[in-house]
Structure 1
Amino acid sequence: MKVLHVITGLGVGGAERQLRLLLRHLPARCDVVTLTNPGAVAEGLRADGVRVRHLGMRGNRDLAAVPRLARLIRHGGYDLVHTHLYRACVHGRIAARLAGTPSVATEHSLGREEIEGRPLTRGTRALYLRTERLGAATVAVSSTVAARLRAWGVPSTRIHTVPNGIDARAFRFDGGRRRAARALLGLPEDAFVVGGVGRLVPGKRFDATVRAVATLPGAWLLLAGDGPEAGALRALAGRLGVADRVRFAGECGEGAAPDVPGVLAAMDVFVSASREESFGLAVVEALAAGLPVVHGACPAVEDLPPGQVPPGAVRLRSPTDPAAELTAVLRRHLAHGPRRLPVPHALDRYDIRLSGRRLMDVYAHALGGPAPAPSAAVPSDPYVHSEPYAPSCPPAPSIRRAHR
């Protein structure tokens, strides 16, 4: 099977990183087209041996982009087109229909009020629904997103839930990695480090984390990622007098910045105060690293059955400004001291190999096969590791003591 993946851009982000990881585990020949911004993930895909093309789309009203993409699909002899993110889904579905090729779309970014980081408008929703009918199936990355699609009017028979996945082994805690990352980032070896990973945009509410850390003299803050809020967050740290205790690592793996497992190893507690999310990949990665997690909206945790919610994950309840609530939670973590937790068994359902197999079932259905079976509540699958995930060293009551 030959598949063309079409995505809005390939800068560093959750959907973009997920695509790169997924292509390593799909038993299909895959090429990638990015409509705009062939950034760091494009370079990573090429390093993996994936062919990446930049369509050079100049804006949402670049009407020539659709026929260019249709010609590329037709001449490439693809069996299937798989689109990712709102703009790529709209343009890619139309182009695939013009080329006479079946298409599947993954909905990574549908929130209650935003899609692909943009406010949801009546026109946006109408265009999405009109083009959704052109594809063979729509993949939701969480049960929460599937419910939103149904509420919009997308028929349940067209929606297939394939959760985002990770390779949990890559995030297992390693003391050497922790020391190396802290030295690289200028973090004291014995500091208590609060951390966050993601695009620096308003919806992630990183400002609340900066405000909370500013009230805790014994805490440091590590933010990994980049985006339009970077300057405002630096200025906020300066106004609050904590610039010396805040580290901005930039995009993980770029320049001198450690990769995601490295920055997670450097942290002692992970915060994701997002107002809304479609999945919450960074939270899952932090749990795989054995970190206590404080989170806002996170379908990856909220969709779990009550008995499987990781005990190390604490939910923020404030709908507007969570800084005060976050401060209280972080103060308790600071008093307890650094610790690593066992990796939750619930993360088995987010194994990237399982995601790849489920997606191949959707592909087969899009090409005329039977509909995939509904996802089981607890996967029993040969693609999932038979042994439970665990940190590379046993949980210790104090990382500071364990690594001196």
Structure 2
Amino acid sequence: MAIDLSSRLGGDNAIFSLEMSEAEMAERWPWLATQPLNLVGFSKKSGIEPTLILRLAKQLKAWAPYAVLTHHIGPMFYGCIAARLAGVPVIAHVEHDVWHYGERNDRRIARLMDTFVHPHVVAVSDTVAEAMRKLMPSSQVSVIRNAVDTERFSPSDRTAARARLGLPQDARIVGAAGRLEDVKGQDVLLEAMAQVPDALLVLAGDGSKRGALEAQAARLGLADRVIFLGYRSDMETVYPAFDLAVLPSRNEGLPLSVLEAQACDIPMVATDVGSVREGLAPGASRLVPSLDPAAMAAAITDLLAHPPGTRPRAFVTEHFSWERMVTAYRRLLTPPVS
């Protein structure tokens, strides 16, 4: 999202990464080298690093930007204070989800920023906005929904997509995209797939739980029905291979994967967490309770047997276009024309 905004907003925009250096980013994501980006890494050490605020403020004074936009709780703490010290006119923070405010330290940071910095809080959904207005009552809160590139993510030939991935043409294929971590709930999805006979599960993504998930698939007798694709930066070529996609997360904001899959006209089964329900196409996709493999399995089985008559892409193009999102951010982040 930060990369897309940087390129679409116009002007000279830098992306600051607190935790990594430029070399670490290039090593982890080699494709970044192909992008016309101004990336600055700060190599933050583990734990609280007060001097990082001063380093950021110094860099911001040198850049003299009109606006600073932060994502996630750590960057809000360091970035908002540094931007205030540097005299940046517009300080904004994007809140993607609110489940993490169950942590006391996160609530303290938000209230500290609300008291001393008053950032403009951008919520990605109505659900997030409602929570942030209660948590940060002195800060302005507005809703700018996430967007998806509907030119990149669009319907394409299923036969060709499966051939590229080496997937069987005649199989019923359920897909899921996301980091292989507890919060993403792939373990729950595996439990559900054990109740969905004669269907393949394709997991796109990587993470610390891959080994545990592979072992779980073997215990459930699913080893020959689960394919781990690993990390993919080309999901627009992967989604079209699926009959349906699943988001089994324990916690979420408004995840892009839900919008991306539906933009490819792939129906979703997703857990009712965070703001997910706001991103599901009515009549095409299904909402199920979190941590309920039986309900998930029932929804998957029903959608496989009875594909929806409504296409989800139309919902995405109407409500989550980049044009709408960029216009809103440009209004917030760029100087008015004098």
Does residue 134 of the first structure (1) align with residue 117 of the second (2)? yes
Residue 373 of structure 1 corresponds to: none
Deviation per residue, 1:379-400 (Å, 9 max, x gap): xxxxxxxxxxxxxxxxxxxxxx
- Whole-Å Cα distance in 2 between the matches of residues 168 and 232 of structure 1? 34
Deviation per residue, 1:334-389 (Å, 9 max, x gap): 3347999362235322111211110111125xx689xxxxxxxxxxxxxxxxxxxx
Residue 359 of structure 1 corresponds to: 329
* Equivalent residues of 2:98, 2:274 under 8 A apart: no
Residue 226 of structure 2 corresponds to: 246
Residue 79 of structure 1 corresponds to: 66
Secondary structure of 1:325 counterpart: helix
- Whole-Å Cα distance in 1 between the matches of residues 33 and 201 of structure 2? 33
- Whole-Å Cα distance in 1 between the matches of residues 106 and 308 of structure 2? 45
The number of aligned residues is: 332
Residue 280 of structure 1 corresponds to: 255
Secondary structure of 2:313 counterpart: coil
Does residue 271 of the first structure (1) align with residue 246 of the second (2)? yes
Structure 2 unaligned regions, length at least 5: none
Letter of the 1:121 partner, please give it: E
- Whole-Å Cα distance in 2 between the matches of residues 80 and 45 of structure 1? 23
Q: TM-score, normalised by structure 2?
A: 0.89
- Whole-Å Cα distance in 1 between the matches of residues 152 and 175 of structure 2? 18
Letter of the 1:193 partner, please give it: I
Residue 217 of structure 1 corresponds to: 197
Residue 16 of structure 2 corresponds to: 33
Equivalent of residue 313 in structure 2, options 343, 365, 382 = 343
Letter of the 1:212 partner, please give it: A
Deviation per residue, 1:189-244 (Å, 9 max, x gap): 21111011112222221112112222323100011112222222111111112122
Deviation per residue, 1:285-307 (Å, 9 max, x gap): 11111112111136665347xxx
**How do 1:81-230 and structure 2 match up within 5 A?**
81-112=68-99, 114=100, 120-132=102-114, 133-155=116-138, 158-175=140-157, 178-230=158-210
* Equivalent residues of 1:290, 1:340 under 8 A apart: no
Q: TM-score, normalised by structure 1?
A: 0.75
Letter of the 1:289 partner, please give it: C
* Equivalent residues of 1:36, 1:55 under 8 A apart: yes
* Equivalent residues of 1:196, 1:272 under 8 A apart: yes
Bigger drift between 347-356 and 86-95 goes to 347-356
* Equivalent residues of 2:44, 2:52 under 8 A apart: yes
Residue 264 of structure 2 corresponds to: 289
Residue 52 of structure 1 corresponds to: 39
Residue 401 of structure 1 corresponds to: none
Aligned-pair CA distance for 1:71: 1.1
- Whole-Å Cα distance in 2 between the matches of residues 57 and 103 of structure 1? 24
* Equivalent residues of 1:32, 1:53 under 8 A apart: yes
Superposed CA RMSD in Å reads 2.6
* Equivalent residues of 2:124, 2:254 under 8 A apart: yes
> Percent identity, aligned pairs only?
30
- Whole-Å Cα distance in 2 between the matches of residues 96 and 42 of structure 1? 28
Letter of the 2:288 partner, please give it: L
Residue 299 of structure 2 corresponds to: 329
Bigger drift between 83-92 and 36-45 goes to 36-45
Residue 400 of structure 1 corresponds to: none
Secondary structure of 2:5 counterpart: helix
Residue 314 of structure 1 corresponds to: 286
Secondary structure of 1:169 counterpart: coil
- Whole-Å Cα distance in 2 between the matches of residues 103 and 74 of structure 1? 14
Secondary structure of 2:93 counterpart: strand
- Whole-Å Cα distance in 2 between the matches of residues 328 and 345 of structure 1? 24
Letter of the 1:165 partner, please give it: A
- Whole-Å Cα distance in 1 between the matches of residues 238 and 70 of structure 2? 30
* Equivalent residues of 2:60, 2:83 under 8 A apart: yes
User: Structure 1 residues 42, 92: CA separation in 2 closer, same or farther (over 3 Å shift)?
Assistant: farther
Secondary structure of 1:163 counterpart: coil
